[in-house]
């Protein structure tokens, strides 16, 4: 994973419920959303989830590691930022200027068939939901989609998955892994119902996603060591410990079977009916 450096002062802090990331410009002359979390385990969650998502074919913004120079953190403008947080590498996602974070105000757009017809890879919505079930991501739901709707120059729209701090049941697999509740999934949303409720191919879509699920989770298992090698030493992550926890939890056959069951049950309860 490439390492970038800031070239000018932090532009702004995004006011979010969680880590309040920064908007910065780096030496590739592009703008990045930069997470500097005080807790490196959360940075690890972002990195490993984005890397696994790529192996699933889930669209995510381009990622990088970022060194924010202390001289680019104006204390008079952002007094809440502590220089010590930036002594280690930060996690960066490319800022997508033409994207909009999905929320309930966009529901009326999805109700228009002409808009829905422009969404490419519509099944990505359910793929992301299945990915969240497997990763035990508690923070993508009806109150907080954590999805970007990206409008490409060709006027085709698609989803980007963002913000994976709260995978592993918002922990570090300290207590194993637990299945998500229905309220912790974007399957239980009006948008899921609009996109798939009348889709005659829903059963086929679900079966194809389940088949893909077992292929992609195996791919993640095979690439685990490679992905762990991307984690900076400055984060002080016990790689042996997290390797064992991920292997015993995410890649266990019992967990994968439970994920399939939960996914099918959520689809049956909140989309098919």
pLDDT in tens, 39-92: 889 999 999 999 999 999 999 999 999 999 999 999 999 999 999 999 999 999
The residues spanned by each domain of the chain are: 3-94, 99-272
CA–CA dist 97, 23 (Å, integer): 11
Overall average pLDDT of the 95-107 stretch: 92
pLDDT band at 17 (very low <50, low <70, confident <90, very high): low
Overall average pLDDT of the 112-134 stretch: 95
Report the 10 Å Cβ neighbour count for 265: 12
The side-by-side arrangement of strands in the sheet containing 147-151 is 99-101, 147-151, 157-161
Query: Model pTM?
Result: 0.96
For the CA atoms of the chain, what is the radius of gyration? 19
Domain 99-272 has CATH 1.10.1070: yes
Nearest to 86 by CA among 52, 123, 37, 18: 37
**Which one-letter DSSP state was computed for residue 178?**
-
């Amino acid at each position: 994973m490439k390492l970038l450096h800031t070239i000018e002062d932090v532009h702004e802090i995004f006011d979010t419920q969680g880590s309040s990331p920064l908007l910065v410009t780096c030496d590739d002359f592009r703008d990045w959303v930069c997470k500097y979390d005080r807790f490196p385990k959360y940075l690890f969650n972002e990195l490993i989830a984005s890397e696994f998502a790529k192996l699933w074919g889930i669209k995510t913004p381009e990622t990088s590691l970022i060194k924010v120079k202390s001289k680019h953190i104006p204390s008079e403008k952002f007094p809440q930022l502590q220089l010590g947080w930036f002594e280690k590498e930060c996690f960066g996602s490319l800022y997508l200027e033409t994207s909009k974070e999905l929320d309930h105000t966009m529901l009326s757009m999805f109700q228009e068939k002409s808009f829905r017809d422009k969404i490419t890879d519509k099944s990505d919505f359910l793929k992301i939901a299945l990915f969240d079930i497997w990763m035990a991501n508690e923070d993508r739901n009806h109150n907080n989609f954590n999805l970007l709707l990206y409008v490409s120059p060709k006027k085709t729209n698609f989803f980007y998955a963002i913000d994976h701090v709260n995978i592993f049941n918002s922990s570090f697999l300290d207590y194993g892994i637990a299945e998500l509740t229905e309220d912790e999934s974007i399957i239980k949303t009006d948008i899921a119902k609009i996109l798939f409720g009348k889709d005659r191919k829903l059963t086929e879509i679900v079966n194809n996603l389940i088949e893909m699920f077992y292929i992609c989770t195996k791919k993640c298992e095979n690439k685990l060591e490679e992905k762990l090698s991307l984690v900076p030493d400055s984060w002080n992550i016990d790689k042996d410990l997290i390797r064992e926890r991920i292997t015993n939890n995410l890649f266990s056959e019992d967990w994968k079977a439970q994920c399939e069951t939960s996914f099918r049950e959520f689809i049956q309860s909140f989309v098919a009916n």
